[in-house]
Each structure stands twice: as structure tokens, then as C-alpha cells.
Chain A
């Protein structure tokens, strides 16, 4: 049973446009959501997070939106840059556990 789902394995956008990566979850006990970025042959790196008490968190070009009623979150990257090309993982934690549950990832390609 997949608790965190990223239904798009890949996404391709043009440089300068907006990239929107989506994530759905099923566990209502999740209270913190995170996005990680992973380049080939490197470990994942933390990008941005959001608490369940908020519906938006912004950090530079990156914004995460949370819709609790729909159990859906999205990561917006504006404007997209070729260096943003990577695999993006959505993750969630909650219920008093520090363990993260990861989605399968979305590979973003930003074309020059």
C-alpha cells in the first residue's frame, strides 16, 4: 500500500517556464511534508518542506502548496532552469515517527 504517490514518472519543461510536480498521500496522520532533489550518482538533498498547519511555503524559486482536504501537495519551480533537471522525491512523516515515507520520484528535465 503506497502511502505517498507521485503519479508522474517524468516531466519535461522549457527553461524559464513553470515546473509543477505533484504528490498525493493517503495517511491522514502525516503532519510534515518534504521535497528532496537528487542528481545522478549523488545522495538526495533536502529542498523545501511544509507543515500540515500551513498551506503554502516559499523559498526563492521554489513553492510548495498543501491541500489537506485533497491529501495533495505540489512543488512549483519558477522560473525553471536547466540545473533543476533532477529526480524529485516527495516525502512525508507523522504520527510521532521520525521515519520518512518517500514517493517513487519524478524525473524533471528542463530544456534550454
Chain B
């Protein structure tokens, strides 16, 4: 089992460029999440998907879109990147009726110039 995988690991964009961060999990979890981590800010939820075909905004959704392509995959899209979106992005998944335990991917470090 690979767990939660994310691509790419690193990315540098210019302001205004677009890109999609990919996430996949092989644990048959229904719930998936996208977070960003900034220095001194902890982990902040961007978007959440409770099941295939459903998505919900988190704490900091502005400037992002998501797609829950199927049960395994949950992608995060930046349509027009801004320097404020420079961050480390983590994808996570969790089982239903669990203890709240979420399994995280290794992260994508994004720099927007």
C-alpha cells in the first residue's frame, strides 16, 4: 500500500500561471482533504470531500478549486497563482466513522514568484 501520494513534490510558478496538484489514496477512504501549511500558521483546511462527487469549502478556499475525480483521487487547482499561495500543500484521507485519524501525503512545496 502506497497510502496517500501527491504529485509533484516541488513546483515553481510565476504569478498568474495555473496548475493542478494531484492526490491519490489506495486505502478505500471516502473522505479526502487539502490543507496548506504556512510558517507559524499550522495546518489550514482548504477543501474537503466526504465522498465521490461532493466537495465542501474549508477555512481558506479562496483562489482554489477542487475535483473529486473518483474515490481514489482528489485534485487541487490554482487557476491564477498568486505569491500568497506560496506554501506547502498536504493531501489527506480518512476512513468513515473513525477516530478522526487522517492519513497525510508527503506534501507539495509550491513557490509562486
- In the complex, are the beta carbons of B58 and A43 less than 8 A apart? no
Total residue contacts A-B, CB cutoff 8 A? 54
By size class, the interface of chain A is: 20 to 34
Given contacts A42-B107, A43-B4, A43-B90, contact A99 B41 (CB under 8 A): no
Contacts of A34 in B (CB 8 A): 99-101
Beta-carbon nearest neighbor of B40 in chain A: A104
Query: How many angstroms between the C-alpha atoms of A8 and B17 in the bound complex?
Result: 38
Which chain B residues border A41 with CB–CB below 8 Å? 106-107
Q: List residues 80-112 of chain A with CB under 8 A from any CB of chain B.
A: 89, 91, 93, 98-100, 102-105
Number of chain B residues close to chain A: CB under 8 A: 24
Which of A14-22, A44-52, A58-66, A68-76 contacts its partner? A44-52
Task: Using CB atoms and an 8 Å cutoff, list the residues of chain B in contact with chain A.
Answer: 4, 31, 33, 40-45, 48, 50, 58, 90, 92, 94, 99-107
Which residue numbers of A lie inside 8 Å of B, CB to CB?
6, 9, 32, 34, 41-46, 49, 51, 89, 91, 93, 98-100, 102-105
The 5 closest A-B pairs by CB, nearest first: A43-B104, A104-B42, A102-B43, A93-B100, A32-B100
